Amino acid sequence: MKIKGTGIAACIVSFIVLLIAGYLAIGFYYQDGFAAGTFINGLYCTGMRVEEVNEQLISCYEDPGFTITFADGTSQVLMLSDVGGSVDYKSALQKIKDRQTPLFWGISLLSTASETTKLLPVITVDETAFTQVVSALPQVVAEETCKREVALQLTGEDGYTLIHTKQHILDTDRAIAESMQAMQNGEQSISLEMAGLYEDPELTAKEQELIDYAGEISAFLNFTISIDLGDQTIAIGHPELSFLLQTSEDPLTLLRDENGSFLWDSELIAAFAETFADTYSTYGKSREFVTSSGESVTIDAGTYGSEIDADALNAFLQEAIPARCDQTYVPEYTREAYVRGVDDIGGHYIEIDLTGQTLYYYKDHTLVLSTPVVTGNLLRHRETPPGAYYIYLKQQNRTLKGPNYSAHVNYWMPIKKGIGIHDALWRDEFGGDIYETDGSHGCINTPLEAMEILYEQTEVGVPVILYE
């Protein structure tokens, strides 16, 4: 019995020795690698050497890019590959490895809190490459090539305008240095504005004087005269008013009165009124017109259109402009169209396609009537003249007379001298090519039923557009 107990004890001792030896062997196995249960950036690193883990983490790295935002709100994204950059985890991995004790691998294995670590890489950027790339960005190039000045200019589009580019200037060298440092620190963006990398250089006394002068002009011209044309309102503000001031031989040097106020030039105001009236008058001018077929055609000048009274406009401006306050003016007209405005045809008109021999009548932009017609005889050179006209009279039971003819019509709506729109009971057919050989003396012959509608629904002044 004693011998048997001794054998069991010996076995137990041997087992313990083997267990300790095995544990120590595993500990020595982890001597050059990470301890059991080590996870880094989701990678299982147990037993792996620092170099192996570093290589795998580098291969898995996804470059998020580095965004540089400029003061104007635009931005550029740089990738590490653009600037000769690289990432490395070695030093951080070595620190983790140095903190671990290989012989405690069992504790690490049994621990419910196995080491899981999130590491950021050390980012290295090639300074020369980074400088070249950033220096070539369009925003930086624009900053470097921008002419820095304080100047006053006069242009037709903007009037008197201060050119002040000697402000908010990017310090390119600092921008490059701080952007590179931010990228290497692992940051994903930098706002050059928020980083204080724009600066305002000190101005000379002459430059400041010019800025003050431009401010005076701007304040003096800070009002608007609005011309109400009906379908649109034209604003006469700073740009237009700039050209109505009295100047010396140098247009940038304005004349002042004894109180120091700038002076208006009455002759320039009169010329402006004349030009404005001519520009926005439609009488005697050709115009673009979209036909019922959707085609855009040029309509010849006829008798229809508006004509702004330039003298009345000038009289108003001579008083309103020196008053320097916001005002609205409705022009007076020497000739007024049915609709007031640049588009004075509006949505109520008669359209006549001379080639298609069709009359269309629109009211409130809606097609009310479409009918075939017969216009002037081409063979006898009595063509109906194309152009923009209007109904200037309405009569019933009129007898039309001319050389060798007399014809009674029920409805008569003249548009140009002896040419008008009327019914023609002597015709059985309308449209087609009748007008080429058997057309009218120039009038627009229209079926009686259509004339009844036209006569009832139209009025004097309604435009009539004729085109080929």
pLDDT higher than 60, residue 25: no
CATH number attached to the domain at 349-467 = 2.40.440.10
pTM confidence score: 0.72
Give the CATH architecture of domain 225-335: Roll (3.10)
What's the confidence (pLDDT) of residue 175? 97
Which tokens sit at 168? 């908010």
What's the confidence (pLDDT) of residue 38? 83
Residues forming CATH 2.40.440.10 domain(s) in the chain: 349-467
pLDDT tens, residue by residue, 227-259 = 999 989 999 999 999 999 999 999 999 999 999
pLDDT tens, residue by residue, 50-72 = 999 999 999 999 999 999 999 99
What's the confidence (pLDDT) of residue 259? 92
Q: What is the DSSP string of 180-218?
A: HHHHHTT--EEETTTTT-EE-PPPPHHHHHHHHHHHHHH
Residue 296, Cα to own-chain centre: how many angstroms?
A: 26
What's the confidence (pLDDT) of residue 44? 87
pLDDT tens, residue by residue, 95-123 = 888 887 655 545 555 443 445 688 889 99
pLDDT, the chain, mean: 91
Residues forming CATH 3.10.20.800 domain(s) in the chain: 225-335
Which tokens sit at 322? 């020196």
Q: How far is 162 from 166, CA to CA, in rounded Å?
A: 11
Which residue type is seen at 41?
A: N
- From 320, 319, 353, 364, select the one nearest 444 (Cα to Cα): 353
∠ CA 419-462-307, nearest 5°, is 95
